[in-house]
Amino acid sequence: MRFMLLQTYGPTASDAPPMTEWTASDVHAHIAFQQELNARLAELGELIDAVGLAGPEVARIVTSDGRTPVVTDGPFPETKELLAGYRLVDVESWDRALEIAALVSAAPGPDGAPVQAPIEVRQVMGAPATDDQ
């Protein structure tokens, strides 16, 4: 079963300040934790992909009627939360996906305290069959 674990940065249960306000050593510890977790998941054959995303200030929204695309700045979140990155995992069960999400949520933040970031867990669905398949 494939799951997308969506990691946001914004208000957390721990009330940790934004990462831009962390000390260099706290940022280093957080990134090292993420890299070590990715390495462990890869060794287990569970990690498909993991990436961090650029901030919304450099994102673009594209809409099209099939002819001329319209490209605008954005998104402009109405909250302080933003999608910071994701992990795509292939695991045996929902329980395992939730277990990995809990590890990600407990990543170290300022002074090593768990950041308690909300991690959205969504199963990746396949496309429905069509008549020609």
Asked if the structure places residue 93 within a domain, the reply is yes
SS (H, E, C) the chain: CEEEEEEEECCCCCCCCCHHHCCHHHHHHHHHHHHHHHHHHHHCCCEEEEEECCCHHHCEEEECCCCCCEEEECCCCCCCCEEEEEEEEECCCHHHHHHHHHHHHCCECHHHCECCCCEEEEECCCCCCCCCC
Residue 81 confidence class, pLDDT cut points 50, 70, 90: low
What CATH number is associated with residue 17?
Answer: 3.30.70.1060
> Looking at the domain assignment, is residue 21 inside a domain?
yes
Q: Over the chain, what is the mean pLDDT?
A: 88
Higher-scoring residue by pLDDT: 74, 109: 109
Q: In which band, very low, low, confident or very high, does the pLDDT at 75 lie, cut at 50, 70 and 90? A: low
Residue 106 · residue 99 · CB < 8 Å: no
| pLDDT at residue 31 greater than cutoff 90 | yes
- Burial-class residue 79 by CB neighbours within 10 Å (0-12, 13-18, 19+): exposed
CA-based nearest residue to 34, from 126, 119, 128, 95 = 119
Q: Tell me: the pLDDT tens digits for 98-118?
A: 999 999 999 999 999 999 988
pLDDT of the residue at 78: 57
Domain holding 79, by residue range, is: 2-123
Please state, for a pLDDT cut of 90, what percent of the chain lies above it: 62
Confidence of residue 80 (pLDDT cuts 50, 70, 90): low
How many domains is the chain partitioned into structurally?
A: 1
Task: Report if residue 114 sits inside a domain.
Answer: yes
- Is residue 131 in some structural domain? no
pLDDT at 17 over 90: no
Q: Specify if 12 maps to a domain.
A: yes
